[in-house]
Amino acid sequence: MGTTTMGVKLDDATRERIKSAATRIDRTPHWLIKQAIFSYLEQLENSDTLPELPALLSGAANESDEAPTPAEEPHQPFLDFAEQILPQSVSRAAITAAYRRPETEAVSMLLEQARLPQPVAEQAHKLAYQLADKLRNQKNASGRAGMVQGLLQEFSLSSQEGVALMCLAEALLRIPDKATRDALIRDKISNGNWQSHIGRSPSLFVNAATWGLLFTGKLVSTHNEASLSRSLNRIIGKSGEPLIRKGVDMAMRLMGEQFVTGETIAEALANARKLEEKGFRYSYDMLGEAALTAADAQAYMVSYQQAIHAIGKASNGRGIYEGPGISIKLSALHPRYSPRPV
């Protein structure tokens, strides 16, 4: 239902009378005028004759004359601003009512609204099952995409090995120095049960990668054990870690390239163009950790601003549904740290 603003010209004396009457009942003149309109309109709708306007005005004047005039008008901040506020729409009133609503109450209400009707829920579940089943059984793609697909199918994210691989795939792309990469590789692949995955995949690449992870996993896990001979220790100490880093780094970068669209927002937008033409939609994320200093936060702010402008230009007027979007990490925009007791 739409709203219309209607104005009426009043002289200063009448305006002061309305203002004084509204102050006595701790209301704004805008509220008093609106209530008067509703009251008079209701009388008109419920009776065949018009009310006696002179009598009403005379009674109101006498009541105003008899009422004691306050010695000093109480101060009401923002009163002029409040007089200009329009009545809230239904949607705006609902937003106001939800202000600072307890999370437990809000979540229970939203969960009920988010539930699909039973027939629609069954159709969605059936479609999801069909898509997952088809992806598992379809012929592996060729090239790099097929290699990564084989690794992902073999090393599930529900296994310790799969989680380790995903950690490496994401983290190695961000680590610039070799020492930190070596430490991360030792941490993630030393405890994996890689032997259980040998021969389970038809892909030669996956089996070769499993043998390599099994070997390097045992290599780094037994790095300091006394049972190793001095020669093996010498080989590992001189060339083992760089060899491990090079092999695992190459495999993980191959996987990481499947999930990181581009090193810059311009590169990511260009790489995504082909799939966008097929109907895919992207929401871009800026790789980065939480800001630790004000300088970090300012640098992230500039990066986000540049990315938003680039994405808006690439959207080319397609709107928020058809065009690309961006996901913003709030912890990158303010260097706040609040320790909480555990």
| Cα separation, 297 vs 328, whole angstroms | 12
- 274, 313 contact by CB (below 8 A): no
| Type and span of the H or E element at 283 | strand 283-285
Are 247 and 289 in the same domain?
no
For residue 254, give every residue at least 6 positions away whose Cβ sits within 8 Å of its Cβ, in sequence order, or none: 144, 147, 148
Mean pLDDT of 230-250: 49
- pLDDT value at residue 248: 60
**67 in any annotated domain:** no
| Last residue within a domain, chosen from 244, 259, 274 | 259
**74 in any annotated domain:** no
| Cα separation, 288 vs 174, whole angstroms | 9
Are 226 and 312 in the same domain?
no
Are 326 and 222 in the same domain?
no
- pLDDT value at residue 230: 40
- 213, 151 contact by CB (below 8 A): no
**306 in any annotated domain:** yes
User: Which residue segment(s) compose the domain that 304 sits in?
Assistant: 265-332
SS3 label, residue 260: coil
What Cα–Cα distance (Å) separates residue 70 from each residue in 20, 67, 79? 9, 9, 18
In percent, the amount of the chain with pLDDT more than 70 equals: 54
Number of Cβ atoms within 10 Å of the Cβ of 52: 10
Are 195 and 286 in the same domain?
no
Are 283 and 197 in the same domain?
no
**117 in any annotated domain:** no
Q: Taking the model in full, what pTM does it have?
A: 0.40
| Cα separation, 248 vs 263, whole angstroms | 20
| Cα separation, 31 vs 37, whole angstroms | 10
Are 251 and 324 in the same domain?
no
- pLDDT of residue 2 exceeding 60: no
| Cα separation, 3 vs 241, whole angstroms | 72
Are 243 and 284 in the same domain?
no
- pLDDT of residue 180 exceeding 70: yes
Beta bridge partners of 283: 325
Q: How confident is the model at residue 223 (pLDDT cuts 50, 70, 90)?
A: very low
Are 269 and 237 in the same domain?
no
| Last residue within a domain, chosen from 259, 286, 303 | 259
- The pLDDT tens digits for 190-215 are 555 545 544 555 544 344 444 344 44
- pLDDT of residue 265 exceeding 60: yes
**3 in any annotated domain:** no
- The pLDDT tens digits for 30-75 are 777 888 887 777 777 776 555 555 555 565 555 555 555 555 667 7
- pLDDT of residue 6 exceeding 60: yes
- 256, 193 contact by CB (below 8 A): no
- pLDDT value at residue 124: 94
| Cα separation, 312 vs 324, whole angstroms | 8
Return the HEC string of 68-120: CCCCCCCCCCCHHHHHCCCCCCHHHHHHHHCCCCCHHHHHHHHHHHHCCCHHH
Across all residues in the chain, what is the average pLDDT?
A: 71
- pLDDT of residue 286 exceeding 90: no
Are 152 and 254 in the same domain?
yes
What Cα–Cα distance (Å) separates residue 181 from each residue in 49, 133, 178, 245, 257? 90, 36, 5, 7, 17
- The pLDDT tens digits for 103-142 are 988 898 888 888 889 999 999 999 999 998 887 777 655 5
Q: How confident is the model at residue 340 (pLDDT cuts 50, 70, 90)?
A: low
Split into its structural domains, the chain has a count of: 3
